Amino acid sequence: MVAAVSSEQIRTATGAGGELVALDPADLAWNRSDERFWFHYTTRAAARAIATGGIYEVGDRHPKTPGLYVSTVQPGALGAEELLNALFDGTREIDRTQAAVVFADGALTFERVSEHAWRYSAPVNTELDLTDQIVGWAVFEQDTWTYSPGMYLPIRSQPDP
């Protein structure tokens, strides 16, 4: 079970509407659970939209291999440039690594496509309902990763009543 933390340990993130918080990495869901977590790196606006709406629309960024791309690289595990290189071989804009949507294992299964990238294959314009797998979202701001509250108390990590 993931335990609650005291209010002294939580700080509200600036510029995030008060909905994101930062805690010690030991308090994050993936460090307190045996479950596997996946990280979809994207822009801040896209991460917020996916996490709050629960829907990911497969775009045409990868027309030959469309789908939802994720990584097992956790926010903060690598510096910004290292993350960019690990995920995109340095060919994408850095703002696409400044936010992440976090998923727990579930209905979507991912296949490995590179050292740090995994994909759930789906045709372009497919809407994937991710509400049962989304744990929350994270943003890198002011040299700190901040997280939605779900990162600390994911329902899947609590024992069944």
Which residues does 31 contact at the CB level (< 8 Å), separation at least 6? Answer: 25
Q: How many domains does the chain have?
A: 1
In a domain, 21, yes or no: no
Residue 95: C-alpha distances to residues 45, 47, 66, 81 (Å): 10, 12, 21, 11
**Tokens of residue 3, six digits:** 């335990």
Which residues does 53 contact at the CB level (< 8 Å), separation at least 6? Answer: none
In a domain, 20, yes or no: no
What is the residue-level pLDDT of the chain in tens, covering all 161 positions? Answer: 333 333 333 333 333 344 788 777 878 888 877 888 999 999 999 999 999 999 999 988 877 889 999 999 999 898 888 888 888 765 667 778 889 999 988 889 899 998 888 999 999 999 999 998 998 899 998 888 999 877 774 444 444 54
In a domain, 53, yes or no: yes
Q: Which residues of 139-150 are buried (b: 16+ CB within 10 A; e: fewer)?
A: bbbeeebbbbee
In a domain, 89, yes or no: yes
Per-residue pLDDT tens digits for 43-74: 999 999 999 999 999 988 877 889 999 999 99
pLDDT at res. 6: 34
In a domain, 4, yes or no: no
137: domain range?
26-150
In a domain, 128, yes or no: yes
In a domain, 57, yes or no: yes
In a domain, 139, yes or no: yes
pLDDT at res. 100: 94
Distance separating alpha carbons of residues 115 and 136, to the nearest angstrom:
24
